[in-house]
């Protein structure tokens, strides 16, 4: 049990440091690129990489939506991830 607790704490620290590093990186990147392009590139590459990882790990079955509409899944996923990221980047650009 102690090993899983320690591993959980380590994972939380990794997430905190990597997410915290986003803001200084984003500040310097937003000088050269607008928030729209930055968000598109960031989530576009991540989405492609995660889809490939899912396909390699789970095969065709991992990409099966089990009868759900792909458009709805795309819309809700985009609103959640890209919307949040975009508003953070836009807010930081406006505040800088």
What is the C-alpha separation between 73 and 62, in angstroms, rounded? 14
DSSP 62: G
Regarding pTM above 0.85, the answer is no
Q: Is 27 in contact with 92 (CB distance < 8 Å)?
A: yes
pLDDT tens profile 24-55 = 888 888 889 888 888 888 888 988 998 899 99
Q: Is 81 in contact with 43 (CB distance < 8 Å)?
A: yes
What is the C-alpha separation between 36 and 86, in angstroms, rounded? 7
What is the C-alpha separation between 89 and 93, in angstroms, rounded? 6
Look at residue 2 in the predicted model and tell me its pLDDT: 60
pLDDT at 4 over 90: no
Q: Which two tokens stand for residue 65?
A: 């939506």
Name the nearest CA neighbour of 41 among 30, 27, 52: 30
Left (φ > 0), alpha (ψ -120 to 50) or beta: where does 69 sit? beta
pLDDT at 1 over 70: no
């Amino acid at each position: 049990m102690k090993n899983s607790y320690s591993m959980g704490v380590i994972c939380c620290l990794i997430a905190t440091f990597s997410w915290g590093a986003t803001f200084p990186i984003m500040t310097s990147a937003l000088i050269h690129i607008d928030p729209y392009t930055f968000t598109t590139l960031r989530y576009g590459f991540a989405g492609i990489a995660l889809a490939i990882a899912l396909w390699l790990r789970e095969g065709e079955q991992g990409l099966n939506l089990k009868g759900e509409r792909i458009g709805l899944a795309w819309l809700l996923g985009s609103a959640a991830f890209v919307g949040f990221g975009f508003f953070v980047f836009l807010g930081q650009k406006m505040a800088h």
